[in-house]
Amino acid sequence: MKNIKLEVNMQLAQFEELSTDDQELVNKAIEATRNSYANYSHFHVGAAIRLADGRVMIGANQENAAFPSGLCAERTAIFAAQANYPDQPITTLAIAAKNEKGLLEEPVTPCGGCRQVILEIEDRYKQPVRILLYGTKGTYVIKSVKDLMPLSFVDSNMH
Ligand code: THU
């Protein structure tokens, strides 16, 4: 048997090292945590996405007493963007989160379901989605969701 190693590529940036556009997007994600409805987990996640035309849209997690009926911040933003501006690819997605102690120190990471949804966006628009995972200690800058998903599954894997 052969051992196979897969690499994950990302950068760690201090907030000041980010471009002005990226700083703006991260700030929008931080602001969006205020719109989270997290009555059950008390974990407030904010997402901000930039579309190809420069438009920024935000999302925040929305929970429900019937747990599976809620939705993550990333998907509220992505689905709203697709529903309103289906011709606009998503170029960058930023995420931030707050718990009972405040903004997370370590970069917040998207759940598996959201990664799969971001992958579908890359596949649909045939271009990568840059991902900014904010933490007060630093921000991970990721070029494509594929870096977070080795052996990912898309439509072409079925044919
Ligand atoms: N959550 C998100 O909004 N995004 C993530 O990537 C991780 C988890 C939300 C879902 C739920 O409302 C709460 O955080 C706890 O899981």
* pLDDT average, residue stretch 60-82: 97
Nearest-CA residue for atom 3 of ligand 1: 72
Nearest-CA residue for atom 4 of ligand 1: 72
> In the annotation, is 74 catalytic?
yes
Ligand 1 pocket: which of 34, 43, 76, 132 to mutate (most atoms within 8 A of CB): 43
Q: What does the alpha-carbon distance between residue 75 and residue 87 come to, in Å, rounded to a whole number?
A: 17
pLDDT at 13: 98
Distance 107 CA to ligand 1 centre (A): 13
Question: Which top CATH class is 19-149?
Answer: alpha beta
**Domain positions in the chain:** 19-149
Tens of pLDDT, residues 30-40: 999 999 999 99
Q: What does the alpha-carbon distance between residue 157 and residue 21 come to, in Å, rounded to a whole number?
A: 35
For residue 140, give the nearest of 18, 13, 7, 16 by alpha carbon: 13
Q: Is pLDDT above 90 for 7?
A: no
